[in-house]
Structure 1
Amino acid sequence: MKQDKRIILVTGASRGAGKGIALALAKPGSTIYVTGRTQSEGDAALPGTVYATVEAIEERGAKAIPLICDHRDDEQVRKALAVIEAEQGRLDILVNNALLVPEGLTLPGPFWEKPLALQDILNVGLRSSYVSSYYAAPLLLKSAKGLVVNTSSAGGRCYMHGPAYGAGKAGVDKMAHDMAVDFRSHGVAVVSLWMGLLKTERSMQVFDAQPELYADAVAAAESPEFPGLVIDALYRDEALMSRSGKVFYAAELAEEYGLVDIDGKLPPSPRAMLGKPPKFNDAIVE
């Protein structure tokens, strides 16, 4: 069996999209570093630990290394990347997925009636993606083919959960474009990937509580591994650099690459309901 000797970092991978992406990228020969704060079951309200993710990755034949890291602390992020530098000397794929989901995010009403703490999503989410990319950049430059993926959503374009959430998503989308400008001459691609509704532990708690209400949503939802399948195909794309600096729906890239989700179905693109991804100034990056 041909091995993929890729060095990968997925941030925020104790559960949810991060865990799913890491699992989808777990190929024999690859080394996957995963960051997370949850070390033991019960430490967080939702199930999942960084060590459980490592175990699941290794069951698929890849090597996995846990990096206990709170992305609110820049020094912890620097140390995590220093470990990768010491052990590998390079990084091929960085997935910026760490996200702090504050209490009250989905409450109805205007932002001033919600907790001020909702702006924490601009710290672990927007700001943390910048910091991870900053410390990863020297390692990505040493890769023969580097890729940075910011996980995002259509909340960067349409109203979704209020202005804090929207600003965070719009920010990582524009960050992908601008980082692509700086990385282009070094052969490192950067994209922002709009994920659809995912069947994460958090979402499934909501779905299971009212199955009749959410039956249609569950039917159209993506597995947490689906974005990772798309990232894997994106990295293998010989025309990867032509996509750098752009924003994509995961479902639409999957259709281009002939992919389906782990249930054998292609999730629908939310474009008709949520709008098209932004198009930034191509003249700068082409």
Structure 2
Amino acid sequence: MSASINPNGNLKGKVALVTGASRGIGEAIAARLAMEGAKVVVSARTAQDGESRLPGTLMETVERIKKAGGEATFIKADLAQSIERERLVEEAVATYGPIDILINNAAITYFTPVVEFTEKRFKLMMEVQVYAPFHLSQLVLPSMIERKTGHIVNISSPAGIHPAKPYRGGRGGTVYGLCKAALERFSTGLASEVYADNIAVNVVSPGLVDTPGVAVHGLINEQSKDRVQPIEFIAEAVYQLASGDPKTLTGRVDYAEPLLKELNLKPSELV
């Protein structure tokens, strides 16, 4: 059975905001949520061709969803800026209504040893990968709490796990790991805070996925190629945590494939 949009799916009437959705994992997540009937707002810094050296744009993500019969719109925003985050949520709500699902996927990453890491780059990574998810959650939570419903899914990485011994040196991923570890601790803490409000907060850790961002950092090589995971696994895991029972599926830090095995599910083909 080929992939399609189900306007009467599990997310009918829901509004989803997905950051970092011009390409890669964010684009796949947006498509998967749209397949279940969600109205999807996608955001990133790249809206149209020529705005990034990487392939993929917000316009293309929206066209992909609309061509399949789904509903989506894009809002270009720089999540390193507080005023831009506020504008993003304001415009998303003005377009489709209160946010039911927030997917914090946007990231900016530099792989540089600590001894060489500049303050400017450190602060930018912390702003986009840690404070932006925190701030966006603050912006959508009042409505979720008032309505006693909501799902937040933050995208992490195995880099958040402590390095294993014996140490063999790294490739400058210490700050990236720091950001992801902070994001995971924020997620579990928030899950505890809003549990009584029927709001789920979870983390999906994708592992290694063949995306334009991964390619530009050269993360797939002869040693790592066997660990590459289809992007459909990530999109499916996020969908399951963005639609599950907030009383039983919350406060989790999950790797995509083990989660799907636990739920006895196979990833859906994407539109």
Task: State how many pairs are aligned.
Answer: 254
Corresponding residue number in structure 1 for 2:210: 199
Residue 229 of structure 1 pairs with residue 236 of structure 2: yes
SS at match of 2:102: strand
Corresponding residue number in structure 2 for 1:260: 266
Residues 39, 96 of structure 2: 8 Å contact kept: no
Counterparts of 1:94-133 in structure 2, within 5 Å, are 94-102=102-110, 105=111, 107=112, 110-119=113-122, 120-133=124-137
Match of 1:21 among 20, 29, 39: 29
Q: CA deviation at 1:262?
A: 5.9
Change (3 A) 1:179 1:186: same
Structure 2 residue identity aligned to 1:127 = Y
Structure 2 residue identity aligned to 1:153 = S
Match of 1:147 among 142, 148, 151: 151
Q: CA deviation at 1:39?
A: 2.2
SS at match of 2:213: helix
SS at match of 1:243: coil
Residues 159, 180 of structure 2: 8 Å contact kept: yes
Length-normalised TM-score, structure 1: 0.79
Superposed CA deviations along residues 14-36 of structure 1, whole A, max 9, x for unmatched, are 11211111112122632000111
Distance 2:251 2:268 in 1: 28
Q: CA deviation at 1:158?
A: 2.5
Q: CA deviation at 1:263?
A: 7.7
Distance 1:203 1:261 in 2: 21
Superposed CA deviations along residues 197-239 of structure 1, whole A, max 9, x for unmatched, are 01101334677xx98x43x63443123342221122233434x
Length-normalised TM-score, structure 2: 0.83
Change (3 A) 1:198 1:58: same
Superposed CA RMSD in Å reads: 2.5
Corresponding residue number in structure 1 for 2:58: 50
Change (3 A) 1:59 1:242: same
Q: Which runs of 4+ in 1 moved over 6 A?
A: none
Counterparts of 1:41-80 in structure 2, within 5 Å, are 41-80=49-88
Indicate the structure whose relative CO is greater, using CA pairs within 8 Å and at least 6 residues apart.
2
Match of 1:169 among 180, 184, 195: 180
Moved more, 159-168 or 15-24: 159-168
SS at match of 1:26: helix
Gap runs ≥5 in structure 2: 1-5, 164-169
Distance 2:125 2:232 in 1: 23
Moved more, 158-167 or 182-191: 158-167
Change (3 A) 1:251 1:100: same
Superposed CA deviations along residues 53-82 of structure 1, whole A, max 9, x for unmatched, are 111122232210101111011111111111
Distance 1:111 1:205 in 2: 21
Residues 202, 241 of structure 2: 8 Å contact kept: no
Change (3 A) 1:206 1:179: closer
Structure 1 residue identity aligned to 2:98 = R
Superposed CA deviations along residues 60-119 of structure 1, whole A, max 9, x for unmatched, are 3221010111101111111111123333332221001111123xx1x5xx4113444441
Distance 2:70 2:147 in 1: 19
Corresponding residue number in structure 1 for 2:227: 220
Distance 2:152 2:60 in 1: 24
Structure 2 residue identity aligned to 1:97 = N
Corresponding residue number in structure 1 for 2:167: none
